[in-house]
Amino acid sequence: MSSIRPPPPRRFLTALRRLAGALCVGACAAARAMPDAGDVERLTQARHDAMGASRVADWRRLIAEAGGLSAGERLERVNTFLNRQLRFDDDKVIWRQPDYWATPIETLGLGAGDCEDFAIAKYVSLRLLGIPAAQLRLIYVRARIGGPRSGHSQAHMVVGYFPAPGAEPLLLDNLIGEIRPASRRPDLFPVFSFNGEGLWVGGEVAADPSARLSRWRDVLDRMQREGLQFNP
Amino acid sequence: MTLTKQLWIAITLVTTVALGGSLAVSLENARHYLEQELRVKNIDNAGALALSLSQLDKDPVTVELLIAAQFDTGHYRRIRLVDPEGSILVERSRPATPAEVPAWFVDLVPIATQPGLAQVQDGWQQYGTLTVDSHDRYAYASLWAGAGRLLAWLFGLALACGAIGTLALHRITRPLKAMVGQARDIGERRFTTIAEPATAEFRSVVRAMNTLAEHIHKLLDEEAQRLEALRRQTEHDELTGLSNRAQFLRQLDSALARDDDAAGGSLVLVRVAGLDALNRRLGRKAVDEALARLAAQLAASAETRADANCGRLNASDFALLAAGAGEAAALADALRGRLQEALGAEAAESLRLAACAYLPGETPGMVLARADAVLAAAELGFGRTVDAGPTDALLPYASADAWRAGIGAALDADHLELAAFPVLREDGSLLHEEAPVRLLLEGRWRTAAQFLPWAARLDLLPAIDARVIRAALQQLEQHRSRQLAINLSAAALRDAGFRATLHEALRHRPGLARRLWIEVQEAAALRHQVEFRSLCLALRPLGCRIGLDHGGKEFSRFAGLHELGLDYLKIDAAFVRGIDTSAGNQSFVRSLCSLTHALGLLAIAEGVCSEAERRCLVGLGVDGITGPAARRMAKSPLPLN
């Protein structure tokens, strides 16, 4: 599984921690990429509630089980699970902040998120399921709301999956639950896309204080602290 | 290794580690900071450029222009756009040469920058991945300049540390130097005291050593006072405090036996004529007072010159013995006025004065008889009150000029040898040999007693003493087991140039210096204490032994005797002659021995004639003897007891 980060030779503590993790959880690659289930649930329980903990546990099970499926099935499972489990709401309501990028565990723990939180949770889930970063994009889009002739639009974010480098992407969105190719989403206009490539060289992100100044790197950093170990 | 050196090494090590450590930490911090800065710049610029490109028409020329514009106006090493298949669409790069920074510095402090990556989109399609690498040249330049400044600062700090360290060390070790000096002094039996330093540990050590030195000082003072009292009460006239007849005769005997520059001299007899009549006329009390004044005046005159003794021979007769003083007439004239004044106007008329010169080797009886004859003549009113003494027919020269030329010629021709008289320990083994000088004058070897008084008058003693030192060192070099004692004259002692020459001569021959005993007459040492002290301080470290000869009379008057570190005292024959029958001299010598032993000095008795004297002296604690008895013993050693 390409999502397992090889132990960085210089980070002694991390190496120790991961060695301990490997001893506890055993050989299951997906499980190793995940933090210890009990830990995450306890963390979630402490932060949120039992519902949140069970959502996180379900998600963990999904990641553990869906690893062997085809790419299309993995996309489908992740998209459906997250769209069902999460309720859309504004950051101002959920986090009492104008804009907050939550980690998947925070989002699942609360059971709610805005479009970035949906997109981040889907992106991370797919990465954990072994979809290469090169095929995934977090895409800023302008979304037209209220039908094809509506003049009203708003900023939105979706996850794009590129089956091939030059191909049209499949979009995982929370406005429309179904995965559709970009050409079937005339309501969305792409503006900019990004992924985690180039950020995670040598595993130095967590040690770099500048990481906290970028929203994207900050949320990746927090995920690592929560125990989600993967190469974005 | 000295303490100062060790402290210096410690300071240098600590400073080097501290400053070197801070240099390394600072450099590492700066390097890390620069790495982060470059990384953030790479990521941000890649993001911004990718955003611009994503909004643009994907006309290749426009894309290339935009990248070129960013590259040319910014600080980049490379900007590259790669399409999703992995082929390069646009690339701009510049060679990575950190120009003004040496290669070893780059190797030592590598700045590992990571490129910034961002995705460029064409509508929904992927257009390519943008890689942005900022130039690290300015980072290296800044690190290099920073390291230089830091090094300069640290160097300055190290210098400041060195200066502070020097001051601190100087302050800390200053009392230590004095302490080491004091400890060395005590090791050499010089019991000095020093000021207590401020450092608590040093202070307790110095206090202990000072206490020891003061204790010894006090002990010696008491002993010296006791000795002086003893000397006065035993062999002295009760009324005047002068030596009594027996003691004075012993002094005369000792003076006649001398063979140094004080050999030969003058004897002045003083008589208060008609003492009974005076007693009746003025009253006994007044006469006693007048006699005491006269005696005090005589004593004062004796005091002013080295090797002078005075005594009361009987109720009306006094005597002044001035060893080494050839001018008997001048001495008598100088005394006359002062003594008349001391007697007072009414008794001045009764003063009779006679002076006569004596030669070494005469007997006390001969000298006294001659003096008596002169005094009788004076009483009879013949007016001639001075006897120039016998002329020694054996003396080679008659005039001072002839003496000067003769001694000079003998020295030039190296007609100089050292005699050898044994000084024995109490068990009869050889302690060292006394080596008085002899000169070949007019074809015969002359003893010191014959020419030294003339040499003293002609100021030739330092020259002779210098040759004696040379001859003694030659002897010591030829005979590896011999130990020689040589006598330094007062004139040589006073001569700073001579002292320097002596020090220089001995400094280069430490093996010989250890077998050389250097002695100075007690009277000379006492009258030139400053010079004597500097001689002791200079010669002691070279290993030679220093002592006093013809000593005892004024030994207790040495101020700071305990600070000189002397090795031996030769007790004057005046205290030794007939000691087996003189209870007073016995207790004096016993006290003298205990005092010298307390100071760590050997006590050696001079002029020991008989076996009875020798046994008595050994019983009193004397460590060694010299004189006729010693010479006899050396030839045919006597069994002990």
**Prediction pTM value:** 0.54
Specify whether the CB–CB gap between B44 and B134 falls below 8 A: no
**B383 plus B450 within the same structural domain:** no
Q: Do A190 and B85 touch (CB under 8 A)?
A: no
Residue A10 is assigned to a structural domain of this protein: no
CA B90 to chain centre: 90
* Whether the predicted pLDDT of B127 surpasses 60: yes
**CA atoms within 13 Å, Cβ hemisphere of B58:** 16
Please tell me the distance in Å from B85's CA to the nearest CA on chain A: 6
For residue B257, what is the DSSP state?
T
**B541 plus B453 within the same structural domain:** yes
Q: State whether residue A213 sits within 8 Å of chain B by CB.
A: yes
Stretch among A60-69, A181-190, A211-220, B331-340 having the lowest mean pLDDT: A211-220
What CATH number does the domain containing A135 carry? 3.10.620.30
Please tell me the distance in Å from A207's CA to the nearest CA on chain B: 10
How much is the mean pLDDT over chain A? 78
**What is d(CA B287, CA B273) in angstroms, rounded to the nearest whole number?**
12
Residue A179 is assigned to a structural domain of this protein: yes
Q: State whether residue A190 sits within 8 Å of chain B by CB.
A: yes
Nearest-CB residue to A168 (from B43, B85, B124)? B124
Q: Do A198 and B121 touch (CB under 8 A)?
A: no
pLDDT at position A10 is: 42
Confidence at A39, pLDDT banded by 50, 70, 90? low
Nearest-CB residue to A208 (from B36, B123, B126)? B36
Q: Do B121 and A139 touch (CB under 8 A)?
A: yes
Specify whether the CB–CB gap between A107 and A91 falls below 8 A: no
pLDDT at position B184 is: 84
Span A191-213, average pLDDT? 66
Please tell me the distance in Å from B58's CA to the nearest CA on chain A: 14
pLDDT at position A7 is: 39
Checking phi first, is residue B379 left (phi over 0); if not, alpha (psi -120 to 50) or beta?
alpha
Segment B24-28 long-range contacts (CB within 8 Å, at least 24 positions apart): B26/B146, B26/B150, B27/B109, B27/B143, B27/B146, B27/B147, B27/B150, B28/B109
* Whether the predicted pLDDT of A170 surpasses 90: yes
**B381 plus B409 within the same structural domain:** no
Please tell me the distance in Å from A145's CA to the nearest CA on chain B: 19
Q: Do B115 and A198 touch (CB under 8 A)?
A: yes
Q: Which residue of B has its CA nearest to A138?
A: B119
**What is d(CA A208, CA A204) in angstroms, rounded to the nearest whole number?**
6
Residue B30: partners with Cβ closer than 8 Å, 6 or more residues away: B142, B143, B146
What CATH number does the domain containing B378 carry? 3.30.70.270
Strand pairing class (B545-551; B516-521):
parallel
Q: Do B121 and A192 touch (CB under 8 A)?
A: yes
Q: Do A137 and B131 touch (CB under 8 A)?
A: no
Please tell me the distance in Å from B36's CA to the nearest CA on chain A: 7
Please tell me the distance in Å from B119's CA to the nearest CA on chain A: 5
- Match 């027996």 to its residue by tokens: B246
**B298 plus B417 within the same structural domain:** no
% of chain B surpassing 70 pLDDT: 95
Span A12-25, average pLDDT? 42
Cβ-Cβ pairs closer than 8 A, A with B, add up to 64
Residue B148 is assigned to a structural domain of this protein: yes
Joined tokens for residue A196: 């985690």
Q: Which residue of A has its CA nearest to B55?
A: A191
Number of domains in chain A: 1
**What is d(CA B39, CA A195) in angstroms, rounded to the nearest whole number?**
17
Q: State whether residue A45 sits within 8 Å of chain B by CB.
A: no
Helices A50-65 and A115-128 meet at what angle, rounded to 10?
Answer: 40
Joined tokens for residue B623: 């460590």
Distances (CA, A) of A97 to A91, B100, B613: 6, 49, 121
Specify whether the CB–CB gap between B244 and B237 falls below 8 A: yes
CA B547 to chain centre: 15
**B66 plus B130 within the same structural domain:** yes
Q: What is the interface pTM, i.e. ipTM, of the complex? A: 0.72
Nearest-CB residue to B124 (from A190, A195, A214)? A190
User: In angstroms, how far is the first alpha carbon of chain B from the final one?
Assistant: 53
Span A107-123, average pLDDT? 92
B88 membership: H or E segment, kind and range: strand B88-93
Domain end (from B131, B160, B189): B160
Q: Which residue of A has its CA nearest to B87?
A: A165
* Whether the predicted pLDDT of A168 surpasses 50: yes
Residue A128 is assigned to a structural domain of this protein: yes
What CATH number does the domain containing B449 carry? 3.20.20.450
CA B513 to chain centre: 16
pLDDT at position A195 is: 86
Nearest-CB residue to B40 (from A183, A194, A210)? A210
Backbone φ and ψ of B473, nearest 5°: -65, -35
Number of domains in chain B: 3
* Whether the predicted pLDDT of B167 surpasses 80: yes
Span B116-140, average pLDDT? 89
Domain that residue A87 falls in = 36-226
Name the E strands within B94-181.
116-122, 125-134
Span B175-188, average pLDDT? 84
User: In angstroms, how far is the first alpha carbon of chain A from the final one?
Assistant: 14
As a dihedral over the C-alpha atoms of residue B186, residue B188, residue B193, residue B194, rounded to 10 degrees, the angle is -90
Residue A12 is assigned to a structural domain of this protein: no
pLDDT digits (tens, 9 = 90+) for B454-507: 888 888 888 899 999 999 999 999 988 899 999 998 888 888 888 888 898 888
Strand partners for B352: B271
Residue A17 is assigned to a structural domain of this protein: no
Tell me the residue type at B97: T
**What is d(CA B153, CA B151) in angstroms, rounded to the nearest whole number?**
5
**B362 plus B479 within the same structural domain:** no
**B32 plus B91 within the same structural domain:** yes
**What is d(CA B585, CA B589) in angstroms, rounded to the nearest whole number?**
6
Domain end (from B160, B184, B217): B160
**What is d(CA B354, CA B163) in angstroms, rounded to the nearest whole number?**
75
For residue B235, what is the DSSP state?
S
pLDDT at position B568 is: 93
Specify whether the CB–CB gap between B71 and B132 falls below 8 A: no
Joined tokens for residue B636: 């045919």
A201 CB neighbours in chain B (<8 A) are 114
Nearest-CB residue to B123 (from A162, A190, A209)? A190
Burial B396-407 (b: 16+ CB within 10 A, else e): bbeeeeebbebb
Q: Do B36 and A209 touch (CB under 8 A)?
A: yes
Q: Do B39 and A182 touch (CB under 8 A)?
A: no
In a mutagenesis test of the B interface, which of A137, A138, A170, A210 is the best target, namely the one with the most B β-carbons within 10 Å? A210
Residue B490 is assigned to a structural domain of this protein: yes
B80 membership: H or E segment, kind and range: strand B76-82
Q: Do A190 and B114 touch (CB under 8 A)?
A: no
Q: State whether residue A166 sits within 8 Å of chain B by CB.
A: yes
Segment B575-579 long-range contacts (CB within 8 Å, at least 24 positions apart): B575/B250, B576/B605, B576/B606, B576/B607, B576/B608, B576/B613, B576/B617, B576/B627, B577/B250, B577/B253, B577/B254, B577/B607, B577/B609, B577/B613, B578/B250, B578/B613, B579/B613, B579/B616, B579/B617, B579/B620
pLDDT at position B118 is: 92
Stretch among A47-56, B58-67, B144-153, B533-542 having the lowest mean pLDDT: A47-56
Q: Do A137 and B126 touch (CB under 8 A)?
A: yes
**What is d(CA B225, CA B105) in angstroms, rounded to the nearest whole number?**
81
Confidence at B591, pLDDT banded by 50, 70, 90? confident
**What is d(CA B273, CA B349) in angstroms, rounded to the nearest whole number?**
9
**B359 plus B429 within the same structural domain:** no
**What is d(CA A136, CA A160) in angstroms, rounded to the nearest whole number?**
6
**B332 plus B306 within the same structural domain:** yes
Q: Is B428 exposed, middle or buried (0-12, 13-18, 19+ CB in 10 A)?
A: middle
pLDDT digits (tens, 9 = 90+) for B69-104: 999 888 898 999 999 888 999 999 987 665 678 888
Residue B495 is assigned to a structural domain of this protein: yes
B316 membership: H or E segment, kind and range: none
Residue B276 is assigned to a structural domain of this protein: yes
**B359 plus B428 within the same structural domain:** no
Q: Got the DSSP string for A59-88? A: HHHHHHHGGGS-HHHHHHHHHHHHHHH-EE
* Whether the predicted pLDDT of A148 surpasses 70: yes
Residue B586: partners with Cβ closer than 8 Å, 6 or more residues away: B579, B616, B620
Helix ranges, B322-479 (H): 328-343, 364-379, 400-412, 448-457, 461-478
What CATH number does the domain containing B43 carry? 3.30.450
- Match 């005696």 to its residue by tokens: B295
**B358 plus B449 within the same structural domain:** no
Q: State whether residue A207 sits within 8 Å of chain B by CB.
A: no
Q: Do A168 and B39 touch (CB under 8 A)?
A: no
Residue B189 is assigned to a structural domain of this protein: no
B117 CB neighbours in chain A (<8 A) are 197-199
Strand pairing class (B308-312; B317-323):
antiparallel
**What is d(CA B574, CA B578) in angstroms, rounded to the nearest whole number?**
9
**B416 plus B342 within the same structural domain:** no
| Residue B212 DSSP SS3 | helix
Backbone φ and ψ of B430, nearest 5°: -80, 125
How much is the mean pLDDT over chain B? 86
For residue A194, what is the DSSP state?
E
* Whether the predicted pLDDT of B381 surpasses 70: no
Confidence at A83, pLDDT banded by 50, 70, 90? very high
Specify whether the CB–CB gap between B573 and B587 falls below 8 A: no
**What is d(CA A32, CA A227) in angstroms, rounded to the nearest whole number?**
10
Q: Do B39 and A199 touch (CB under 8 A)?
A: no
Tell me the residue type at B305: R
Q: Which residue of A has its CA nearest to B82?
A: A165
- Match 């046994």 to its residue by tokens: B615
Centre a 10 Å sphere on the Cβ of residue A196 and count the other Cβ atoms it contains.
Answer: 20
Residue A69 is assigned to a structural domain of this protein: yes
Please tell me the distance in Å from B48's CA to the nearest CA on chain A: 10
Please tell me the distance in Å from A58's CA to the nearest CA on chain B: 32
Q: Which residue of B has its CA nearest to A169?
A: B124
Stretch among B210-224, B421-435, B465-479 having the lowest mean pLDDT: B210-224
Question: If interface means Cβ-Cβ distance under 8 Å, which residues of chain B face chain A?
Answer: 36, 39-40, 43, 46-47, 50-51, 54-55, 83-85, 114-119, 121, 123-126, 129, 131
Nearest-CB residue to A193 (from B40, B115, B119)? B119
| Residue B571 DSSP SS3 | strand
Q: Do B114 and A160 touch (CB under 8 A)?
A: no
Residue A14 is assigned to a structural domain of this protein: no
pLDDT digits (tens, 9 = 90+) for B414-426: 899 998 899 999 8
Q: Do B124 and A195 touch (CB under 8 A)?
A: no
Residue B394 is assigned to a structural domain of this protein: no
B115 CB neighbours in chain A (<8 A) are 198
Q: Is B23 exposed, middle or buried (0-12, 13-18, 19+ CB in 10 A)?
A: middle
Nearest-CB residue to B119 (from A137, A183, A202)? A137
Of B132, B116, B88, B101, nearest to B31 (Cα)?
Answer: B101
Q: State whether residue A137 sits within 8 Å of chain B by CB.
A: yes
B129 CB neighbours in chain A (<8 A) are 197
For residue A187, what is the DSSP state?
T
* Whether the predicted pLDDT of A31 surpasses 60: no
Centre a 10 Å sphere on the Cβ of residue A46 and count the other Cβ atoms it contains.
Answer: 10
Domain end (from B112, B144, B160): B160
Nearest-CB residue to A210 (from B36, B125, B131)? B36
Nearest-CB residue to A182 (from B36, B51, B124)? B124
Specify whether the CB–CB gap between B313 and B296 falls below 8 A: no
Distances (CA, A) of A15 to A7, A211, A213, B317: 6, 21, 26, 117
Q: Do B36 and A202 touch (CB under 8 A)?
A: no
A137 CB neighbours in chain B (<8 A) are 119, 121, 126
Domain that residue B527 falls in = 400-635
Q: Do A197 and B40 touch (CB under 8 A)?
A: no
Residue B540 is assigned to a structural domain of this protein: yes
